[in-house]
């Protein structure tokens, strides 16, 4: 029965899909018609990366999260204590949805800044149900570039990268759409999760650009600077904290030659210039 449905789905998908040829080599057809969250078998996370991201998601949700032998993410919904209820609802909604979400490692990618989401296939399964095959790409090498305040770093790890992309796919909230919106609905949703966890909130979506001198090469280099802060206390100025990263290594030069079309990233392909200063 399942095989018949899958065959039918393949036929329908073949007529609907707009899968770019360039992506065909890296997708995971094994997960294509299987709703839920999975770990890629083609762009595998190392054991360390998989354990790290599971530990982060577990700490954020307080779910007992595991992967089964087929690479599917499962959770035990047994009265979790602590964690973020909004994050639990998001994970629950993704796993119980019609869609497939594949988490792939794309370290040192030319087109991914921290994390990226792309829907590579939409199809109708023949019973009237619509499905999407989402790829969530995580560049762990980019996260290793981050330096700065410890709690701000906890608000911007790979686990939050996965959740950011799930908010786009499941809740359909966008990044900033207008000049007047500094943050965007997607990160506002993530901030509600950070608030539940007592973590600092992301204040602006676009990183500021800052000129610094590289300790390794002694040459001028641009840093990307992400701004976080605690909820505003009445009558007090909001305390801001920062994380920085080498802009060239993470994104700036890479996006000049980006060929990825229609993919959204955790950071942005567009960097806004901030105040330029020279760091000692
Ligand atoms: Zn985004």
Q: Tell me the average pLDDT across 46-64.
A: 96
Per-residue pLDDT tens over the stretch 222-240: 999 999 998 776 556 678 9
How far apart are alpha carbons 99 and 171 in whole angstroms?
Answer: 13
CA of 173 to the centre of ligand 1 (A): 9
Q: In angstroms, what is the span from residue 236 Cα to ligand 1's centroid?
A: 30
What's the per-residue H, E or C state across 136-205?
EEECHHHHHCCEECHHHHHCCCHHHHHHHHHHHHHHCCCCCCCCCCCCCHHHHHHHHHHHHHCCCEECCC
Cα(218) to ligand 1 centroid in Å equals 33
Q: How far is the CA of 184 from the centre of ligand 1 (A)?
A: 9
**At residue 133, does pLDDT exceed 90?**
yes
Distance between first and last Cα of the chain: 67
Domain coordinates in residue numbering, the chain: 36-279
Residue 276: CB atoms within 10 Å: 11
Q: How far is the CA of 169 from the centre of ligand 1 (A)?
A: 10
**Band of pLDDT at residue 37, cut at 50, 70 and 90:** very high
- The closest alpha carbon to 186, from 246, 113, 266, 263, belongs to 266
Global model pTM greater than 0.75: yes
Range with the poorest average pLDDT among 93-97, 207-211, 268-272: 268-272
Q: Per residue in 8-21, pLDDT tens? A: 333 223 323 333 43
Distance 114 CA to ligand 1 centre (A): 11
Distances (CA, A) of 255 to 64, 118, 197, 251: 37, 16, 33, 6
Q: Judge whether 118 and 27 are in contact, CB under 8 Å.
A: no
- Cα(167) to centroid(ligand 1), Å: 8
Is the model's pLDDT at 34 over the cut of 70? Answer: yes
CA of 90 to the centre of ligand 1 (A): 15
What spacing in Å lies between the alpha carbon of 23 and ligand 1's midpoint? 20
* Distance between Cα 31 and ligand 1 center (Å): 23
Quick one: which H or E segment has residue 272? none
How many A from CA of 268 to the centre of ligand 1?
A: 7
pLDDT confidence band for 219 (50 / 70 / 90): confident
- State the distance from the centre of ligand 1 to the C-alpha of 185, rounded, in angstroms: 9
Beta-sheet pairing, 220-229 with 201-202: antiparallel
> How many whole angstroms from 265 Cα to the centroid of ligand 1?
5
């Amino acid at each position: 029965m399942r095989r018949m449905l899958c065959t039918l789905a393949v036929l329908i998908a073949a007529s609907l899909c707009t899968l770019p040829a360039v992506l065909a080599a890296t997708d995971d057809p094994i997960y294509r018609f299987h709703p839920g969250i999975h770990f890629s078998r083609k762009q595998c996370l190392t054991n360390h990366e998989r354990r790290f991201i599971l530990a982060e998601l577990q700490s954020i949700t307080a779910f007992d999260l595991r992967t089964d032998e087929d690479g599917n993410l499962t959770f035990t919904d047994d009265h979790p204590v602590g964690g973020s209820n909004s994050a639990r609802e998001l994970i629950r909604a993704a796993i119980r949805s019609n869609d497939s979400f594949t988490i792939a490692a794309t370290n040192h990618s030319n087109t991914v800044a921290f994390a990226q989401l792309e829907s590579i296939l939409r199809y109708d399964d023949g019973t009237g149900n619509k499905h999407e095959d989402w790829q969530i790409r995580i560049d762990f090498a980019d996260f290793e570039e981050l330096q700065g305040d410890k709690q701000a770093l906890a608000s911007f790890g790979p686990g939050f990268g996965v959740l950011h992309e799930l908010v786009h796919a499941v809740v359909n909230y966008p990044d900033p759409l207008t000049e007047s919106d500094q943050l965007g609905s997607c990160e506002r949703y993530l901030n509600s999760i950070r608030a539940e966890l007592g973590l600092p909130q992301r204040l602006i979506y676009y990183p500021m650009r800052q000129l610094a001198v590289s300790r390794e090469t002694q040459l001028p280099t641009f840093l990307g600077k992400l701004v976080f802060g605690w909820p505003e206390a009445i009558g007090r100025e909001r305390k801001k904290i920062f994380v920085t990263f080498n802009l060239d290594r993470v994104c700036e030069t890479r996006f000049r030659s980006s060929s990825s079309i229609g993919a959204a990233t955790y950071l942005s392909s567009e960097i806004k210039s901030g105040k330029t200063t020279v760091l000692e």
